Amino acid sequence: MRKILLTSAIFVSAFFCGAAPVLAQSSIEYAQDKKVFLLHAGEQSYAFGVNERGELQSIFWGAQLKSIADIPPAKVGPDVASFDGSTTTTPQEYPGWGSVLYTEPAIKATFEDGNRDLVLHYVSHKIEGDELTVELKDISLPFVVQLHYRVYPEQGIIARWSVIENLGTKFVNLEDAASAAWTLPHGEGYEAHWLTGHWAAEWQQQSAALVPGSIVIESRRGSTSHQANPWFEIDRPHETTEESGPAWFGELGWSGSWRISFDTSAMQQTRITGGYNTFDFAYKLSGGQSLKTPIFYAGYTSKGRGEVSRLLAHFQQAEIFPGGDKAKLRPVLYNSWEATEFNVDEAGQIALAEKAASIGAERFVIDDGWFGQRKVDNAGLGDWYVNQQKFPHGLKPVIDRVHSLGMDFGIWVEPEMVNPDSDLYRKHPEWAMNFPGRPRTEERNQLLLNLARKDVADYVYSFLDKLVSENDIAFLKWDYNRNWAEPGWDAVPVDEQKKIYVAYVDNLYDILSRLRAKHPKLEIESCSGGGGRVDLGILRYTDEVWPSDNTDALDRLVLQDGFTRAYSSGAMMAWVTDVPNFLDNRTVPLKFRYLVAMNGSLGIGGNLNHWTDAEMQESKTLVAYYKSIRQTVQRGDLYRLMTPEENSASSTEYVSRDGSQAVVFAYLHSQRYGTPYPTLHLRGLQPDARYRIKTIDDKLKLSSETVSGDYLMHEGLTFNLTGDYDSTSITLERVP
């Protein structure tokens, strides 16, 4: 690991003259003579400098550069005829909209006197450990931006965000405030990849060549959204494969409206700008006020698309998820939603809990329907008391029984919502997000509580705290079943009301963080009608996410492949549910459903009352198998041996971080023409090590007890999978 040499905070004046102090072997180097910064994170180097005009300008982003001596100083771009001024052709690190800027700005502001010209120049910088802060200031106004760079040397990630501060006495209205702009090496031939979707069809992978013009992915919905996820990867399709070639990637940590744009100029300069969505955005800074933008994480690898997902998964496990590397593994969970929907009651839940425990579940979760006057989705949200008809003795008898069965207990909540048919709404109609006097559009019969309001945020925190304090609850499934509409906030002055986009999410994070601090053992799942709120912002406070309401195993293969491009499989809750599937009527064998769900954090969501003895027995065996491999699946390296999008068969492999175990899953979706199952060439093994293979069925014939890594990777394995929805899994244990 690289070590930083400068341990104390120092500000270096832009006008300081003297010998260049080059900080060799640190994660952040600065060459003062040419005013160049060089950041090292894993395989990634990132360089920028102060140009002749005093702007901070991007120089390099890509493979590791060992010596800062090789990097030229930043040089402003040329004026191209009289139409593309130098400000436009210079790739600034954080361009203000001002001077001759036609490219995407990182920040745009209107000052109190009507001035809208903002030109940011370097003032100073500070290096503290793995963090660099560069201060920029407008050329004449008391308006500064601090650009933060946090380097994660071991994970290969650089995090960037900005803090925008009005040092004057007059107000400034921000209309755009990005987290960062990233500049790709100059040239053509790039392809961008991103994720889109809708309810029950999240995580669809999209790709397009980056040609002059722009591609924008965004959410204007107040939360992350099913429709697009704030993740991207860019590569060179002629060079980059799943396992080799250059790839640049990034991910935003924000659970509100967001935007990432990929802008390629006619002169083949591609830049990626991301942060708060500029749509309907306005943030007024009075004198002395500041705004911090979300964190934009990014990285580079020369090892292909698969390595992007592995780097992100490791980074998330170490630095984002609560508990980091020390977090305990995800338990096998049972959730009653698809079995009972809103029809939950004491006897029914206890009966399911007993069955769930008998097949090996470790956590039992009551989903929607247990509170207020909730019978269907048109009432009760906001009234977080236990429904007396369904649970006449409160939750205690169920919780006690769950505990006596050796499981812990979890419960569903949807804290940010209110049904108009609720005591809360009757008491506080003003708490709903809306514009006074205008319609309040309901979705799923519910409205949003305006969490930007302090009284609402206090209420939400206190009912959750009470619920968790009064009941032995280990886990909350935190749902969020609609997006914003009519986002009014009339409790603050008109020119402050658009701050709702920031204040709402800040308060959400604050509630989650306070709750976790007070109840350190509590775990939380982020759910939003499936995968509508999955991002590196919410994942700082939640242990797992529900990626989709689509639990059909065949669809899940594709959704999971998309999900794991951006997020660790360990955070992905995946249930085995009943067939025919409620969504598409498809019937898939139980074993196939289990082996698909085992690619994440395994859950069971079927109605166990209807499962046969044989199915319960098979479940018991498969749940036990999952427990023997979950460390590898949840924390290991994922290799996509065959992706489900392009093939009628697919296969995933996970290798534990210490290399001692590997797990292979193989699926035949549908067999055509009697074609044999493709030979699988494993990856990520030690060529000279020997592995003992354990099978769960008779789909693989072995001629010897142990096999070398070499053989497994080059000769490969041939499984005898036949017919539709055949599947298998094997485990490889490295022989010591």
336-355: contacts with ligand DGJ (CB under 6 A): 337
Q: Tell me, what DSSP letter sits at residue 70? A: G
Cis geometry, peptide bond prior to residue 580 (ω within 30 degrees of 0): yes
Q: Are 331 and 338 in contact (CB under 8 A)?
A: no
Q: Where are the alpha helices (DSSP H) in 84-228?
A: 86-89
Smallest gap, in angstroms, from Cβ of residue 719 to ligand DGJ? 33
What φ, ψ does residue 715 adopt, rounded to 5°? -85, -40
Smallest gap, in angstroms, from Cβ of residue 303 to ligand DGJ? 35
Closer by beta carbon to ligand DGJ, 362 or else 549: 549
Smallest gap, in angstroms, from Cβ of residue 294 to ligand DGJ? 24
310-339: contacts with ligand DGJ (CB under 6 A): 337
Closer by beta carbon to ligand DGJ, 337 or else 594: 337
Segment interacting with ligand DGJ (CB under 6 A) among 29-37, 459-467, 525-533, 715-723 = 525-533
Smallest gap, in angstroms, from Cβ of residue 481 to ligand DGJ? 5
Segment interacting with ligand DGJ (CB under 6 A) among 465-473, 502-510, 524-532, 700-708 = 524-532
Closest residue to ligand DGJ using C-beta atoms: 368
**DSSP letter string, 446-457:** BEEB-TTSHHHH
Q: Tell me, what DSSP letter sits at residue 443? A: B
549-578: contacts with ligand DGJ (CB under 6 A): 549
Closer by beta carbon to ligand DGJ, 572 or else 664: 572
Closest CA to 650 of 587, 559, 578, 574: 559
Closer by beta carbon to ligand DGJ, 40 or else 226: 226
Smallest gap, in angstroms, from Cβ of residue 447 to ligand DGJ? 16
Q: Is 367 in the site for ligand DGJ (CB under 6 A)?
A: yes
Closer by beta carbon to ligand DGJ, 339 or else 598: 339
Closer by beta carbon to ligand DGJ, 316 or else 340: 340
Segment interacting with ligand DGJ (CB under 6 A) among 265-273, 527-535, 581-589, 623-631 = 527-535
Q: Is 202 in the site for ligand DGJ (CB under 6 A)?
A: no
Q: Is 549 a catalytic residue?
A: yes
Closer by beta carbon to ligand DGJ, 490 or else 584: 584
Q: Are 511 and 464 in contact (CB under 8 A)?
A: yes
Question: Which of these is catalytic: 368, 543, 549, 552?
Answer: 549
What φ, ψ does residue 613 adopt, rounded to 5°? -60, -40
Closest CA to 563 of 582, 581, 539, 587: 539
87-116: contacts with ligand DGJ (CB under 6 A): none
**What's the longest Cα–Cα distance across the chain?**
82
- Secondary structure (3-state) at 386: strand
Closest CA to 344 of 551, 18, 607: 607
With CB under 6 A as the rule, give the number of residues binding ligand DGJ.
Answer: 11
Q: Is 731 in the site for ligand DGJ (CB under 6 A)?
A: no
Give residue 519's identity as a one-letter amino acid code.
Answer: H
Q: What's the rounded Cα separation, in Å, for the pair 60 and 180?
A: 15
Question: Which of these is catalytic: 130, 263, 367, 479?
Answer: 479
Closer by beta carbon to ligand DGJ, 337 or else 489: 337
Q: Is 478 in the site for ligand DGJ (CB under 6 A)?
A: no
Residue 56: half-sphere exposure toward Cβ, Cα within 13 Å? 30
Structure-token pair, residue 422: 């609720």
272-294: burial string, b at 16+ Cβ within 10 Å, e else: bbbbbbbeebbbbbeeeeebbbb
Q: Is 529 in the site for ligand DGJ (CB under 6 A)?
A: yes
Smallest gap, in angstroms, from Cβ of residue 252 to ligand DGJ? 23
Q: What's the rounded Cα separation, in Å, for the pair 106 and 56?
A: 12
Q: Is 481 in the site for ligand DGJ (CB under 6 A)?
A: yes
Closer by beta carbon to ligand DGJ, 91 or else 222: 222
Site map (CB under 6 A) of ligand DGJ, residues 370-409, x = contact: ----------------------------------------
Q: What's the rounded Cα separation, in Å, for the pair 462 and 59?
A: 50
Structure-token pair, residue 383: 């009234």
Q: What's the rounded Cα separation, in Å, for the pair 322 and 433?
A: 30
**Which residues 6+ apart lie within 8 Å of 532 measured at CB?**
199, 202, 223, 224, 225, 226, 480, 483
Closer by beta carbon to ligand DGJ, 107 or else 574: 574
Structure-token pair, residue 329: 């593994």
Q: Is 368 in the site for ligand DGJ (CB under 6 A)?
A: yes
Smallest gap, in angstroms, from Cβ of residue 366 to ligand DGJ? 10
Burial (CB count <10 Å: 0-12, 13-18, 19+), residue 711: middle
- Secondary structure (3-state) at 238: coil
Q: Are 62 and 185 in contact (CB under 8 A)?
A: yes
Q: Roughly how many angstroms between the first and final C-alpha of the chain, as a whole number?
A: 28
Strand partners, 220: none
Q: Is 306 in the site for ligand DGJ (CB under 6 A)?
A: no
Segment interacting with ligand DGJ (CB under 6 A) among 296-304, 523-531, 690-698, 718-726 = 523-531
Segment interacting with ligand DGJ (CB under 6 A) among 36-44, 452-460, 491-499, 522-530 = 522-530
Smallest gap, in angstroms, from Cβ of residue 496 to ligand DGJ? 33
Q: Is 400 a catalytic residue?
A: no
Site map (CB under 6 A) of ligand DGJ, residues 205-224, x = contact: --------------------
**Which residues 6+ apart lie within 8 Å of 435 measured at CB?**
486, 488, 490
Strand partners, 710: none
Q: What's the rounded Cα separation, in Å, for the pair 476 and 538?
A: 14
Smallest gap, in angstroms, from Cβ of residue 478 to ligand DGJ? 10
Closer by beta carbon to ligand DGJ, 261 or else 445: 445
**DSSP letter string, 9-40:** --EEETT--SS----TTSSEEEETTTTEEEEE
Smallest gap, in angstroms, from Cβ of residue 31 to ligand DGJ? 52
Smallest gap, in angstroms, from Cβ of residue 472 to ligand DGJ? 21
Q: Are 72 and 52 in contact (CB under 8 A)?
A: no
The single residue among 190, 364, 371, 412 that binds ligand DGJ, judged by CB under 6 A, is 412
The single residue among 457, 505, 527, 554 that binds ligand DGJ, judged by CB under 6 A, is 527
Closer by beta carbon to ligand DGJ, 46 or else 409: 409
Smallest gap, in angstroms, from Cβ of residue 479 to ligand DGJ? 5
Q: Is 479 in the site for ligand DGJ (CB under 6 A)?
A: yes
Q: Are 556 and 598 in contact (CB under 8 A)?
A: no
Residues with a catalytic annotation lie at 479, 549
Give residues in contact with ligand DGJ (CB under 6 A).
337, 367-368, 412, 479, 481, 527, 529-530, 546, 549
